[in-house]
Structure 1
Amino acid sequence: MTITKEDELDALKEIGRIVANTLQAMSTAVVPGMTTRELDEIGRGLLERAGAVSAPESTYDFPGATCISVNEEVAHGIPGDRVIMAGDLINIDVSASRNGMFADTGASFLVPPSRPALDRLCRDGRRAMQIGIAQVGAGKPLAGIGNAIGKFAADRGYTLIRNLASHGVGRSLHEYPEEIATWPTRDKRRITRGLVLTVEPFLSTGGQWAEQGDDGWTLYTEPSAPAVQYEHTVVATDRGAIIVTLPG
């Protein structure tokens, strides 16, 4: 969507704060021995108490309030009986709606004890997202996001998952401009003032693509390699990006 009025921005910030708080609380709640279903129920309760509705459930009939992906799972992991273990690499993706506005956020993190190579991947994954967000602004090229992230990844020996992209968001979970590459492209489109979009690169130590598993939802890296995702919902302005998915 394109933000044209202050009350639209206020409503977007409100659902952005809700999903950000939910993500933060879920990441803090993780302990070895709990199942991903138990973690998802924490997220569900927080969304419901805030008057928000899970976007993957309401939009796509996803079997969970949030997407929780562990280790070899790169995205869209179904909450279930999988037990979280010490040392696991976990991604939590929270998207929801309230009063007709949608926001989307996500983050990856390690369950202690940490591992240096994966610690570095997490730090650089967050940095890749920040570099992409720095390219968002009214009139700027849409391809600038992926071109900047791609250079950062290549300079550090990483790959990017090239079939999991950023997207427009706001009045629905996925909308115009549909796929926004977080890898180098020649996309000629420009970012318009007020455009609402996500920035969510999937940085990997070797994965190139996401392949769907037998459950019809969970995605795995191909070739198999660790991958992380960090995501914010942002609004393009003349002075850069407003990040709306901040806790508070």
Structure 2
Amino acid sequence: MTITGEDELTGLREIGRIVANTMQAMADALEPGMTTLELDEIGRGLLEREGAQSAPQSVYGFPGATCISVNDEVAHGVPGARVIASGDLVNIDVSASKAGFFADTGASYRVGPVPRVLDRLCHDGKRAMEIGIAQVGANRPLAGIGRAIGRFASDRGYTLLRNLASHGVGRSLHEYPEAIATWPNRTERRIIHKGLVLTVEPFLSTGGLWANEGEDGWTLYSEPCAPVVQFEHTVVATERGAMIVTLPG
């Protein structure tokens, strides 16, 4: 989607606020002993209260209102009977629509004390996203996002999953420009134009290279098996840089 008027920006900001507030409320409720389904129900209730529709459900028929991925699960984890325990790494991904506008956000959280390597991974995963967002702006190269994140990851000894990419969003959950690499991609020649709406969502890992689909047909797992974190915002490209619309408020 390309923002062409204030009314569109207002609509995008509204759904951005909703998904951000929903994810924050789920993160605040996250505790050992609860199931991923119980956590998802919190998100479902908040989206419904705001008059928003879960994008994974409405677009793809996903079994949950939100995606909740634990430990070895990289993304698209299906909420269910799995009990969250102290020491777990939990990714919450919330995307939804309202009044014809879509927004998408996600973050990884530590439950209780975790090994130092996971503390560092979460801190650096958020930083990788921020570095990518800093490359977004009108008339800048789309490849700059992956170059900057790739340099950061390499300098710190991390890997990036190479088959889960950022994407355009706004009028649908996934739209042009598709497959925006969050790793260095020499074949990328596209330019970010003013008003473009996209996500920035690197998947930073201590060794994972690919995401493979599990037996349930939804959940993705790291190959090779390694911890992975994901942080994501929906942003709008302006002449001054990136405007983040998925902020709580």
What one-letter code is carried by the residue in structure 2 that aligns with 1:245? T
Letter of the 2:161 counterpart = I
User: For 1:41-120, what aligned pairs fall within 5 Å after superposition?
Assistant: 41-120=41-120
Corresponding letter in the other structure for 2:49:
R
TM superposition score normalised by structure 1:
1.00
Equivalenced residue count is 248
1:236 aligns with 2:233: no
Match of 1:157 in 2: 157
1:113 Cα shift? Answer: 1.4
Match of 1:133 in 2: 133
The aligned residue for residue 220 of structure 2 is 219
- Could you say which residue in structure 1 is the equivalent of 2:199? 198
Amino acid at match of 1:194: G
Instruction: Find the aligned partners of 1:156 and 1:200 in 2 and give their Cα distance.
Output: 18
Deviation string for 1:86-134 (max 9, x for gaps)? 0000000000000000000000010001321100000000000000000
Kindly provide the amino acid, as one letter, of the partner of residue 50 in structure 2: A
Distance in 2 separating the partners of 1:184 and 1:199: 14
Percent identity, aligned pairs only?
Answer: 77
Which 4+ stretches in 1 moved above 3 angstroms?
Answer: none
Correspondences of 1:175-194 after superposition (within 5 Å): 175-186=175-186, 187-194=188-195
Offset from partner CA, 1:156-191 (integer Å, 9 cap, x none): 000000000000000000000011000000200000
Letter in 2 for 1:69: S
Paired letter, 2:107: A
**Secondary structure at 1:220's aligned position in 2?**
strand
Query: Which letter does structure 1 place at the counterpart of 2:7?
Result: D
Q: Distance in 1 between matches of 2:202 and 2:160?
A: 7
- The CA deviation at 1:31 is 1.1
Q: Any idea what SS the aligned residue of 1:103 has? A: strand
C-alpha separation in 2, matches of 1:143 and 1:168:
14
Question: Which position in structure 2 is the counterpart of 1:210?
Answer: 211
State the alpha-carbon separation in 2 of the partners of residues 234 and 36 from structure 1.
28
Secondary structure at the residue paired with 2:74? strand
TM-score, normalised to structure 2's length?
A: 0.99
| CA distance in 2 between partners of 1:80 and 1:66 (Å) | 11
**Which residue of structure 1 lines up, in the alignment, with residue 148 of structure 2?**
148
Local SS of the residue matching 2:198: strand
Alpha-carbon distance in structure 1 between the residues aligned to 2:68 and 2:161: 18
Match of 2:19 in 1: 19
* CA distance in structure 2 between the partners assigned to 1:223 and 1:70 by the alignment: 16
Give 1:73 shift: 0.1
The letter of the residue matching 2:201 is E
Q: Distance in 2 between matches of 1:179 and 1:222?
A: 19
| Structure 1 counterpart SS, 2:191 | coil
Separation of aligned partners in 1, 2:224 and 2:32? 28
The separation in 1 between residues aligned to 2:141 and 2:36, in whole angstroms, is 39
Unaligned runs of 5+ in 2: none
Residue ranges of structure 1 left out of the alignment (5+ in a row): none
Residues of 2 paired with 1:206 and 1:39: CA distance?
28
Partner of 2:121, secondary structure, is helix
